[in-house]
Homo-oligomer: A and B are copies of this chain.
Amino acid sequence: MADAISEHIILRLARYLRVLQKLRSLGFVKVFSNNLGDAIGVTPAVVRKDFSMISITGNKRGGYTIDYLIPELERILGKRETQNVVLVGCGKIGRALMEYQEFRKEGIIIKAAFDVDESRIGSHSDIPVLHTEKLADYVVENGIRVGILAVPDTSAASVFEIMMQAGIRGFLNFTTVELKCSGKCPDDGCESECIVQNVNISLEIENLFYLVNLKSSLHSST
């Protein structure tokens, strides 16, 4: 088996892809590792290394062909199929996500949303909104593997548990609760790892403040 591809690399591949799509729309045909590196702020060596990790090759003198790169990256990133997710929690954040048009463009489909509040049940932005009671069955029946958690913090842990049990393995977590995938698979008892991606805008802003203050104090002291 080839070396594992780290999360860092995946993130960069997705950024290359976006840049390449823009270049193509501008009529570009070829691209060099240093162009792509400049575009996303890494060295050309990183670009070549990344491509080499996923067995993408270029021409020693002529760089990489954009029309070859784009489908390869899309394939690696699994962009060919539509990506079905469930959304749990239809409060402000949940509704904003249902209205978010960008998802469709990227092939991400919120198949269904769930809430415990009867007044929210029905549909929103053409997405069916069901009672959270039906969540587990829905996930199992539709083989959903990725879910968005946008419930109040107080119910985060229990909803997370339900989603885990039903087979969700990738979580986009909008709560501030630390989710821990401690559980074993219900079926085979093996260690069932899951991946939690936290989204916390406040945290990111605070982080920015810290770094900006740090940088300017270094600056003024030298």
Contacts and interface: CB of A to CB of B under 8 A. Distances in A.
Interface residues of A, number: 60
Interface in A187-214: 190, 193, 195, 197, 199, 201-214
The main secondary structure of chain A at its interface with chain B is helix
A215 interface: yes
Nearest to A104: B202
A105 B202 CA distance: 9
B106 A206 contact: yes
Given A97-B201, A201-B100, A211 B83 contact: no
A197 B85 CA distance: 25
A10 interface: yes
B207 A14 contact: yes
A162 to B, nearest CB: 18
Contacts of A76: 210
Interface in A12-66: 14-15, 18-19, 39-41
B83 A207 contact: no
B207 A11 contact: yes
A14 B203 contact: yes
Contacts of A40: 178
B202 A197 contact: no
A199 B195 contact: no
Given A178-B15, A195-B212, A195-B215, A172 B206 contact: no
A106 B169 CA distance: 30
Contact of A206 (B108, B145, B216): B108
The 7 closest A-B pairs by CB, nearest first: A170-B208, A170-B212, A106-B202, A169-B212, A96-B96, A195-B211, A83-B209
